[in-house]
Amino acid sequence: MLTFRSASLRQVDSVKAMASCIEAAGGPQDCRLLIFNACMGHDFGQLAAEAQRLCPRARVLGASCCGIVGREGVSETLKDLAVMLIGGEEWAVVSMDGVNSHTAHAKGLAMARDLQSQLPQVRCIQLLGPGIDTANDLLLRAFEEVFGPEVTVFGATASDNMRGITSLQSDGSQVMRHGVWAVGYADSSLEVETQASHGFVAMGEPLVVTRCEGTRILEFNGRPSWGEYTQRLGLDPQRATCAESIPIGALAEPLQPEVALEYGNPHLLRVITKRDDDGAIHYPCQVREGLRLWLTVRDESRIFANLERMMQQMVSRIGSGTVLAVFHSDCLARGRFMLQRVDKEELVAKMQRPLQRGGLTPPWLGMYGFGEFARLGNRNTFHNYSTALACLFRRA
């Protein structure tokens, strides 16, 4: 049976940070899989090497982020680190570099088939990919083609410190910029519940995609997409960067009515993390001509109300089960770039308190990233600007 332990902290030295984090999580004993989230001020090679030295029998996976969330709370500095130590043998890992918008489906299929060959009885899959230039819908489709849509896929896409320049993924000593890793869990006693929510409201007239290629939007309303997008945001197209547009530039994609009812919002959000010199922007999924996208404004009361609604639904589905671990992916724009510290801590408390037993928060590994994977409409779905939780639990 799988076991889970977690810890998070802030420390300048990467080697000492990993050693301290493992110790705070209860020590390296029985660790067979170690997953860490680290901010961009850390040396990923040093983090992985120290984790491997202290946990020689463990597979070590990592991801870059813009901040972490753990049992200890929220932290968003360049030197934050969070770890999850997993004991037991009912898991398998696959990873691959060079995954981008052109290769996502083919490489996703290769990884999914490899994972199935290693672990035929997969119950759920944790997926971590790059936050820039990837077709996340095609990546999900590839795993569903192998495992079926009934197998839950949860996770995140890595991020940087919201500059939209690079994101890091690591498997052992290999540090990748366009890598994907996936963990399949096969503990027969394990169940998973996932859900996501956001609190943004669409406004104004839509931006209509009039020319596109794959995940690249070339034109909105017959004009270069970056110029049209940034002008709508009140930014100078010649000077604006993704670091400026991400906090205020969430795009709303309409949902089918029945799915919108479940989501508590009529739109799914999308983030723009890359632009090209020719004025094209990169959408995080495949895009089609005629797609209507709205700019949005955040509604703080709706953010809190939708999260409370989500937690009530998740707790109801878990029932009297024991939560073993929570994997938490949150949009970096919902961190310090959007909410004040008090609001942010209150938001996290509203996630953790309903899942506590005896006043204790379960092992918790959270990150502020560029995107989130969670189920919606009984399908695995890629989200942006959302809070997404995956609760691994056992029935009473």
The pLDDT value given to residue 172: 97
The pLDDT value given to residue 127: 98
The pLDDT value given to residue 196: 98
The pLDDT value given to residue 167: 96
According to DSSP, the residues that pair with 33 across neighbouring strands are 59, 86
Average pLDDT for 11-29: 98
Average pLDDT for 121-125: 97
For residue 105, pLDDT beyond 80: yes
The pLDDT value given to residue 88: 98
In sequence order, what DSSP letters do the residues of 47-89 get, joined into one string? HHHHHHHHSTTSEEEEEEES-EEETTEEE-STTEEEEEEEESS
C-alpha to C-alpha distance for 23 and 278, rounded to whole angstroms? 50
The pLDDT value given to residue 300: 86
The pLDDT value given to residue 342: 54
For residue 111, pLDDT beyond 90: yes
The pLDDT value given to residue 370: 95
- Which stretches of the chain are DSSP H helices? 14-24, 44-54, 104-118, 136-147, 225-232, 242-245, 257-263, 300-318, 341-352
Average pLDDT for 286-308: 94
The pLDDT value given to residue 340: 61
* pLDDT digit string, tens, across residues 298-339: 888 899 999 999 999 999 999 999 999 999 999 887 765 555
For residue 374, pLDDT beyond 80: yes
What DSSP character marks residue 321?
Answer: P
Other residues' Cβ atoms within 10 Å of the Cβ of residue 187: 19
* pLDDT digit string, tens, across residues 198-207: 999 999 999 9
Average pLDDT for 213-234: 97
Q: What is the mean pLDDT of the chain?
A: 95
The pLDDT value given to residue 332: 80
For residue 178, pLDDT beyond 90: yes
For residue 123, pLDDT beyond 60: yes
CB contact set of 288 (below 8 Å; sequence gap of 6+): 209, 212
According to DSSP, the residues that pair with 196 across neighbouring strands are 388
The pLDDT value given to residue 140: 98
For residue 161, pLDDT beyond 90: no
C-alpha to C-alpha distance for 69 and 37, rounded to whole angstroms? 9
The pLDDT value given to residue 163: 83
CB contact set of 139 (below 8 Å; sequence gap of 6+): 99, 104, 105, 108, 127, 129, 180
Percent of the chain with pLDDT over 90: 92
Average pLDDT for 337-360: 83
For 106-116, b where at least 16 C-beta lie within 10 A, e where not — what string? ebbbbbbbbbb
CB contact set of 282 (below 8 Å; sequence gap of 6+): 101, 132, 133, 215, 216, 217, 272, 273, 274, 275, 276
The pLDDT value given to residue 341: 56
Average pLDDT for 162-191: 95
